């Protein structure tokens, strides 16, 4: 089965968790976009939901397909967020931000009672870190922030290239106007320690490690769709 079909299968399973009247956080990326398309079909046939998008890209797709949008200002508490991921470990700790939307994605997920991750099963790993960790940083002091990240990682026994994300010849700029450093540290045995260390650096706006946010992961593979639940899930 091709990758797009797997994404659609995971998205379709996630849609079964969506109930009429829900306030939804809507993720970013190719898998989240498949979810938006299926959600829009439900909306067209009468389902009433309101969505808070995690990026301008997702907002544009929702508008195009007729999914009603809100903001966290108007709707500060959400029932459910559905989003993709770059890596998922068995505890449902995630690496996100491959699409550059990690800050809004984390804010939206944290404002939701539940977060469901949707992905093809290639995203499931025993230990996070093969996918470079996206770190959103302020433009001011970029070199100093990069140095501080490398130093903090080194203290945890982590090393590897930390590179500025580019779009062609220009630095990639997030919806919030920040930059992204992609940190290729390799395997990250202690995600909590790295998260704390990164949060202690003033120029770091947010990082792509999502700890304790996802309760359910829906993973589609050639043999079908698997649902993993975190120990904290009900």
Pairing of strands 112-120, 216-221: parallel
Contact of 137 with 178, CB cutoff 8 Å: yes
- Listed in sequence order, the residues at least 6 apart from 16 whose beta carbon sits closer than 8 Å to its beta carbon are none
Q: In the bound complex, what is the minimum distance in angstroms from residue 98's beta carbon to ligand 5RP? A: 3
Contact of 207 with 136, CB cutoff 8 Å: yes
The residue range among 9-17, 30-38, 177-185, 186-194 that interacts with ligand 5RP, by the rule CB under 6 A, is 30-38
* 106 in contact with ligand 5RP (CB under 6 A): no
| 71 vs 152: CA distance, rounded Å | 35
Q: Which is nearer to ligand 5RP, 28 or 81 (CB)?
A: 28
Considering 13, 34, 87, 105, which one is annotated as catalytic? Answer: 105
Q: Which is nearer to ligand 5RP, 123 or 146 (CB)?
A: 123
Q: Which is nearer to ligand 5RP, 31 or 112 (CB)?
A: 31
30 is in an annotated binding site: yes
19 is in an annotated binding site: no
* 53 in contact with ligand 5RP (CB under 6 A): no
Structure tokens that stand for 5 in this block: 């079909």
| 221 vs 219: CA distance, rounded Å | 7
Structure tokens that stand for 4 in this block: 């797009």
Which parts of this chain interact with ligand 5RP (CB under 6 A)?
27-32, 83-86, 96-102, 105
Annotated binding site for substrate: 28-31, 83-86, 96-99, 123
Q: Please list the active-site residues.
A: 105
């Amino acid at each position: 089965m091709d990758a797009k079909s797997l994404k659609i299968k995971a998205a379709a399973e996630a849609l079964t968790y969506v109930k009429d009247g829900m306030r939804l956080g809507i993720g970013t990326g190719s898998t989240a976009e498949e979810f938006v398309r299926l959600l829009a079909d439900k909306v067209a046939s009468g389902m009433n939901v309101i969505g808070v998008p995690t990026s301008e890209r997702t907002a544009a797709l929702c508008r195009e397909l007729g999914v009603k949008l809100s903001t966290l200002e108007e709707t500060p508490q959400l029932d459910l967020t559905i989003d993709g991921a770059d890596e998922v470990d068995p505890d449902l700790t995630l690496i996100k931000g491959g699409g550059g939307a990690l800050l809004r994605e984390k804010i939206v997920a944290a404002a939701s009672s539940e977060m469901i991750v949707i992905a093809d099963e290639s995203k499931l790993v025993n230990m996070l870190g093969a996918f470079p960790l996206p770190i959103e940083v302020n433009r001011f002091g970029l070199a100093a922030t990069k140095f501080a990240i490398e130093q903090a990682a080194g203290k945890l026994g982590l090393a590897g290239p930390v590179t500025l994300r580019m779009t062609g010849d220009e630095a990639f700029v997030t919806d919030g106007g920040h930059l992204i450093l992609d940190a290729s540290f390799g395997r990250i045995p202690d995600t909590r320690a790295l998260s704390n260390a990164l949060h202690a650096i003033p120029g770091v706006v947010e990082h792509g490690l999502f700890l304790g946010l996802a309760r359910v992961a829906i993973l589609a593979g050639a043999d079908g769709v698997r649902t993993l639940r975190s120990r904290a899930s009900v």
